[in-house]
Amino acid sequence: MTYVVFGAGMMGSAAARDLAVHHPGDRVVIADIDPALAQRAAAAMALPNVFPLRVDVNDRARVMEALEGASAAIGAVSYTVNLALTRAAIAAGVPLCDLGGNNDVVEQQLALDAEARARGIAVVPNCGLAPGLINILAVEGMRAFDSVETIRLRVGGLPQHPRPPLNYQIVFSVEGLINEYVERAEVIRDGVPASVEALSGLEEIVFPPPFGALEAFNTSGGLSRLPQMLLGKVRDLDYKTIRYKGHCEKFRTLLDLGFASGEPLVAGGSVRTNREFFTELLRKKLDYGDTDVVLARATITGTRGGAAGTLVYELVDRFDEASGVSAMMRTTAYPTAVIARMLAAREITATGVLTPEMCVPGDAMIRELARRAIHITTRTTESWS
């Protein structure tokens, strides 16, 4: 089999490496507009089945050429080109999965469902950790119940050694972080779809030592298509981001002061928005090279055989000292690589444009991640086991 990974950055490189290591008989192409970056990424892996390629994802002809003969592809580039990659993959008849990043773009991709089905392929946007893995766990957990009452999803990527004042380190896109903190979050409350303010609904959440008591609050994007998919099937559904205590209040103060607004700001003869300056400031101040940890928990409550119960999936994954791969890369890129393999092997039998929770078998995903030392534990509180 042949895989094409568009994007030689951290996530793309980690996904390419995962495919190459776990499937040494397959060919993995890592493509980027910067040929030197693609070459460095391939050379760093030192694997005989990884090949660099220069591809500008805005050049449709070049993308189509790269997709020729591919078994599956991964989009690990900016969400702004995911729609174009989807159209190219459909035209080429090559299954595709991507890291998502923008709800509006995902909706435009979903509008191409009929075209993908006509070509007999699946396109899976919004892969990764959240949205992605956590949503897959939610749907997998529902299978344990006859009826489901609530689904609570909690996820956070954190520094292992937090520094004040925000006790946070950038572990993915700064722009994506701000989007999560300013856009409204979709939820289901009492069986009715609703939207809530980001940074609202602050609650305490406890993880095993050394983490202890943390905080969680509403942010946008993490539920992906779950609100539409589960309407009428669950009474309450929400997603919250996990941070060290005090982070939410401090960040909310910055937003209240207009740091992320689109108001123009003149500095040194140039005009930029407050948000643009804020983005650059966060990028510089919140990147201090600490090792990271990913914490995730999916809690599903419901009934089976007339008895009530709760099922909890929990994940604690740390920076991998041996490989130098961060926890965020492991929990984002590796599930995406697993999905690419499922697409190539036709283990995902559905066709069309579908988010992971709509088509990825959760039990198989859990097994594959365990092979990568990403262990998802389960516990139950019930009277029907």
pLDDT at 88 exceeding the cut of 90: yes
Q: Nearest-CA neighbor of 182 among 239, 221, 236, 154?
A: 221
Parallel, antiparallel, or unpaired for β 72-75 and 96-98? parallel
- Contact criterion met (CB below 8 Å) for 365 and 136: yes
Can you give the pTM of this predicted structure?
Answer: 0.94
pLDDT at 134 exceeding the cut of 60: yes
| Mean pLDDT computed over 5-18 | 96
Domain definitions of the chain by residue range: 2-126, 130-328+375-382
State the chain's maximal CA–CA distance in angstroms: 70
pLDDT at 343 exceeding the cut of 70: yes
| Mean pLDDT computed over 199-217 | 97
| Mean pLDDT computed over 333-344 | 98
Cα 380 to Cα 234, 267, 294: the distances in Å are 19, 56, 22
| pLDDT of the residue at 265 | 74
| pLDDT of the residue at 383 | 61
Q: What CATH topology corresponds to 2-126?
A: Rossmann fold (3.40.50)
| pLDDT of the residue at 171 | 78
Q: Cis peptide leading into 35, omega within 30 of 0?
A: no
User: Which SS3 state, helix, strand or coil, does residue 183 take?
Assistant: coil
Where does 130-328+375-382 sit in CATH, by number? 3.30.360.10
| pLDDT of the residue at 264 | 84
Residue 84 burial (CB < 10 Å; 0-12/13-18/19+)?
middle
| pLDDT of the residue at 83 | 97
pLDDT at 169 exceeding the cut of 60: yes
| pLDDT of the residue at 266 | 72
